[in-house]
């Protein structure tokens, strides 16, 4: 009587988490184990009987393991459609036993790409898995006949379902889809890294046209679902948060340590991103006498921003800008939280506080209010790192927009004073601060500052003069003698008229309107100094 061959399972994994337990379970279920290299060695050390891939193929591994599983004895069974009589007969004639389960995950290319010092190209190319993705894709393609497991988290459920009978077609589809996501992310990581090496990164040039040449020809993204969120911007919208594979642990918003009884929401993350972005933009060496930055954001727009000699000074000035809007806001500081700041912050209702660290005892003070979240954005120097240039994506119907983003880089030596009255050194210092804040406010944007603190912000208006009205209304009496920044040119003189009525003494704007002279004449008639930067700061 002809003996029925045992079903085969092919195990070849880089991440060996749970592989011994998975293989043991398969062995007990009657599977014959086939494996490669390090996986086979680990399974044999655990006392399991393993057939090497070379025994199956009848061919040794070659080129230091570059070629080992790429053989018809492996891929014939993986791609055989058992429901197709010709396929089944052909496999039998070839004498290849069917492979019913494949466990495979891939070399950690992303980890290799992040190594310091950076690997040379030839070393990095050795970390590109060829046989693994081929096995994964073949198994996923033939998922009605082959179970593909690329995630160790699925091992236990697969064993449990096999012990009870078999895996449903829907479960097989779920695993196949995960497998294709695994290989797609892998290929994306490779193309992104090689493009950055062989084409260059946009940040390697200050010329926008040169930067554009270095944007990818095909836009790919690699990110893994970290957490499902309760809902999106509104309760009827689904949402989740994803993490980039190269995001340093603890150093980014997504990888930050979150503490508090209540989970972060979609809106929390969105607002926190705007807050952190502006705080990083201010966390530079440009203001050595006032190194402490405090940013307060509500609904993606700053409502209070200040620099101070102390953290408490910066916070009090930022809060004074718009204490009403600060209710339920998100706050970020660029230095570890101090006890005096924590005590001052304690009464305020806020959603999230972010900082690079917390002095002893501050967390206990801060967490006395329920539902408050505190995030730690770590930095090697206990100070938020400055905002780097990066590439950002925006979905639109039928495609995407890509652009570079960075804190405004303005050559102040080339900025042009266009009025009869020249701004003072103190006013120019305020202009530099106001422009940095203005760049992070939704357009049309107007920012009014006294010294290095905002006193009025007019965000996101369809009319620039209306943005001026909002900013001046919020500034009130504090607008007297202030510096006003605009993210784009004034199309009419009415914005200057409103600014003058609020008491603005100096204005900084890009210039470039066909009515610039009219605007300049109005500033001169009002005794206001005005400086053109030639640098627009739209944020839509």
Contact 316, 451 (CB under 8 A): no
Antiparallel, parallel or unpaired: β 506-509 and 483-486: parallel
Residue 100, φ and ψ in degrees, nearest 5 = -100, -20
- Minimal CA–CA distance to 113: which of 181, 224, 15, 190? 190
Tokens of 277: 């972005």
Instruction: Give the whole-angstrom CA distance, residue 89 versus residue 76.
Output: 12
* Cα dihedral across residues 523, 524, 528, 533: positive or negative: positive
Sign of the dihedral defined by the CA atoms of residues 511, 512, 517, 518, in that order: negative
Three-state DSSP at 159 gives helix
Cβ pair 103, 12 in contact under 8 A: yes
Residue of 71, 201, 262, 299 with catalytic role: 299
Nearest to 416 by CA among 497, 527, 511: 511
178 is catalytic: no
Question: What are the residues facing 307 on neighbouring strands?
Answer: 293
User: Which two structure tokens, joined as six digits, stand for 175?
Assistant: 């695993």
Respond yes or no: is residue 390 known to be catalytic.
no
Neighbour count for residue 322 (Cβ, 10 Å): 21
Q: Which of these is catalytic: 59, 141, 262, 369?
A: 141
Q: What is the DSSP letter of 229?
A: -
Nearest CA among 329, 288, 332, 331 for reference residue 308: 288
For residue 491, what are the contacts with CB-CB under 8 A and spacing of at least 6? 464, 513, 515
Catalytic residue list: 141, 299
């Amino acid at each position: 009587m002809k003996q029925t061959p045992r079903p085969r399972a092919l195990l070849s994994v880089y991440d060996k988490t749970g592989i011994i337990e998975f293989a043991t379970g398969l062995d007990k279920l009657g599977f014959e184990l086939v494996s490669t290299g390090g996986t086979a060695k680990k399974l044999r050390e655990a006392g399991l009987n393993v057939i090497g891939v070379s025994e199956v193929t009848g061919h040794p591994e070659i080129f230091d393991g570059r070629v080992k599983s790429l053989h018809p004895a492996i891929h014939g069974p993986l791609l055989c459609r058992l429901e197709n009589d010709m396929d089944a007969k052909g496999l039998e004639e070839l004498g290849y036993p069917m492979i019913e389960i494949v466990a495979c995950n891939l070399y950690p290319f992303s980890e290799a790409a992040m190594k310091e010092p950076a690997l040379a190209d030839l070393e990095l190319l050795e970390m590109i898995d060829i046989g693994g993705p081929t096995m994964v894709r073949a198994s996923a393609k033939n998922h009605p006949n082959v179970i593909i497991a690329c995630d160790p988290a699925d091992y236990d459920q697969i064993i449990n379902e096999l012990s009870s009978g078999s895996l449903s077609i829907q479960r097989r589809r779920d695993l196949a889809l995960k497998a294709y996501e695994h290989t797609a992310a892998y290929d994306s990581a490779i193309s992104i890294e090689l493009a950055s090496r062989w084409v260059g990164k946009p940040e390697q040039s200050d010329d926008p046209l040169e930067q554009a040449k270095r944007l990818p020809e095909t836009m790919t993204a690699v990110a893994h679902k970290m957490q499902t969120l309760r809902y999106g911007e509104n309760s009827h919208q689904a949402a989740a948060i994803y993490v980039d594979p190269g995001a340093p642990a603890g150093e980014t918003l997504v990888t930050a340590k979150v503490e508090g009884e209540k989970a972060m929401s979609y809106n929390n993350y969105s607002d926190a991103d705007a807050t952190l972005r502006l705080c990083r933009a201010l966390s530079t060496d440009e203001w050595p006498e006032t190194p402490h930055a405090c940013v307060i954001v509500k609904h993606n727009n700053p409502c209070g921003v200040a620099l101070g000699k102390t953290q408490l000074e910066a916070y009090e000035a930022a809060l004074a800008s718009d204490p009403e809007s600060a209710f339920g806001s998100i706050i970020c500081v660029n230095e570890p939280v101090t006890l005096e700041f924590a005590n001052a912050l304690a009464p305020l209702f806020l959603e999230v506080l972010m900082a690079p660290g917390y002095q002893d005892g501050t967390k206990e003070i801060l967490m006395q209010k329920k539902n408050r979240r505190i995030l730690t954005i770590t930095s090697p120097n206990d100070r938020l790192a400055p905002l780097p240039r990066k590439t950002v994506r925006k979905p639109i119907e039928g495609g995407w927009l890509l652009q570079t983003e960075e804190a405004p880089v303005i050559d102040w030596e080339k900025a042009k004073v266009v009025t009869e009255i020249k701004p003072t050194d103190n006013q120019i210092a305020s202009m530099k601060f106001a422009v940095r804040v203005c760049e992070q406010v939704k357009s049309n944007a107007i920012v009014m500052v006294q010294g290095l603190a905002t006193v009025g912000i007019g965000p996101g208006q369809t009319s620039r003069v209306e943005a001026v009205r909002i900013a001046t209304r919020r500034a009130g009496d504090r607008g007297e003698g202030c510096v006003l920044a605009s993210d784009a040119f004034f199309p009419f003189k009415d914005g200057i008229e409103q600014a003058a009525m609020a008491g603005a003494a100096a204005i900084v704007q890009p210039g470039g309107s066909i009515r610039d002279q009219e605007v300049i004449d109005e500033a001169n008639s009002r005794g206001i100094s005005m400086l053109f930067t030639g640098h627009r700061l739209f944020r839509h």
